Amino acid sequence: MQATPEKTLVSKSSETTKTARPWLARWPLLRAFLRNRKAMLGVSILFFFIMVALLAPWIAPGNPKKMESRAHLAPAWIADTPAPGGKTFLLGTTGQGQDVFRQLVWGARLSLSVGLSVGIASTIVGTIIGLTAGYLGGWVDDILSLLTNVMLIIPGMPLLVILAAFLKPGPVTVVMVLTLTGWAWPARVMRSQVLSLRAKDFIAASVVSGERTPRILFSEVLPNMSSVFVGSMVGSTVYAIGADVGLAFLGLTNVGTTSWGTMLYWAQNNAGILTGAWWTFVPTGICIALCAFALTMLNYALDEITNPRLRAEKETTHGKRNRGNVLVTPVIRK
């Protein structure tokens, strides 16, 4: 019997996927990031708050410290009586008659800028110390590891309170204090990663070829730890936002500025809880929780994408779940 060529039916959806976004095939990590639900959820929430902070003069124009009306006016959508002068306040007023919504929008600027600044600064300092200690080894590693262990042993919040109490209050002081107390953990993580990469063949090849130590560290070692770097920065940002709010709530920063922490401070001082003025602190707490949630989801997503073990477990689970929906290419024989 004469053999005839086989005709294969190719799924249109697979062809569309290959031709619609060919640039994604060149960036597998970006493709995995865009397909991760946790990553998209975290990025969406974080992007929303960043845009609110950048567009604060247009979203809530005016001075957030200005006294607009009576103290502790309820939000317009639950108020029984209209506010004096016919003004409406979406989230009510504070104990000093300031617009809560305006303060919430403008406070996002300072809180997010402090959090992101501390996250970037502490991660850079920790990365430099971790790279140096892990790669050079010897007495350099001993001294830097001792310094890192000392910073990890010292309780963070008491040290923050002491430093903030004796230094001049302000956003720059907060960034310096939080960076000083937050670099140790990224340094420990980076050092452990460098110790595992130092014995690789490509590092030995760079040493034999005569490359200098700074070039090996920043051109060969650091690019292989980009996921750890980003994860450390995200974790440090979450820590910084929470610590900044805590210091402001205790009155150890400049309470004359407008931030989410100072809003909680004045809500407590003006007896917002005792008077039942929940709108002076609940919206602020929700914004802080949402930012921490978004950064945590982003950190989990990066870990799932870059960790081979977690990625393999996810692919195995996804395969078992969709085993009944496996697409089979039919073959037509004549």
Task: Determine the Cα–Cα distance for residues 213 and 307; give it in Å rounded to an integer.
Answer: 28
User: By the 8 A CB rule, do 270 and 94 touch?
Assistant: yes
Segment 10-35, tens digit of pLDDT: 444 444 444 445 555 556 667 777 78
Bigger pLDDT: 322 vs 194: 194
Mean pLDDT of 162-177: 81
Class of domain 35-62+69-306: mainly alpha
Site of tokens 């907060």: 174
Which residue(s) pair with 332 in the sheet? 7
How much is the mean pLDDT over the chain?
80
Give CA angle at 203 (198, 204), nearest 5°.
Answer: 100
Q: Hey, what's the torsion of the CAs at 12, 17, 22, 26, to 10 degrees?
A: -130
The model's confidence at residue 332, banded by pLDDT at 50, 70 and 90, is low
Q: What's the pLDDT score for residue 122? A: 92
Share of the chain above pLDDT 90, in %: 15
- The whole-number pLDDT of residue 316 equals 64
Question: Stretch 231-240: mean pLDDT, rounded?
Answer: 88
Distance CA 208, CA 198 (A): 13
Structure tokens at 11: 């799924």
pLDDT, tens digit, for every residue of 171-191?
888 888 888 888 888 899 888
Cα–Cα–Cα angle for 173, 236, 107, rounded to 5 degrees = 55
pLDDT (tens digit per residue) in 260-310: 989 999 888 887 888 888 888 899 999 999 999 999 898 888 877 776 565
**In the chain, domain spans:** 35-62+69-306
Q: Does residue 77 or residue 21 have the better pLDDT?
A: 77
pLDDT digits (tens, 9 = 90+) for 109-131: 999 999 999 999 999 999 999 98
Q: Is the pLDDT of residue 205 over 70?
A: yes
In SS3 terms, the chain reads as: CCCCCCEECCCHHHHHHHHHCHHHHHCHHHHHHHHCHHHHHHHHHHHHHHHHHHCHHHHCCCCCCCECCCCCCCCCCCCCCCCHHHCCCCCCECCCCEEHHHHHHHHHHHHHHHHHHHHHHHHHHHHHHHHHHHHHCHHHHHHHHHHHHHHHHCCHHHHHHHHHHHCCCCHHHHHHHHHHHHCHHHHHHHHHHHHHHCCCHHHHHHHHCCCCHHHHHHHHHHHHHHHHHHHHHHHHHHHHHHHHHHHHHCCCCCCCCCCHHHHHHHHHHCCCCCCCCHHHCHHHHHHHHHHHHHHHHHHHHHHHHHCHHHHHHHHHHHHHHCHHHCCCCCEECC
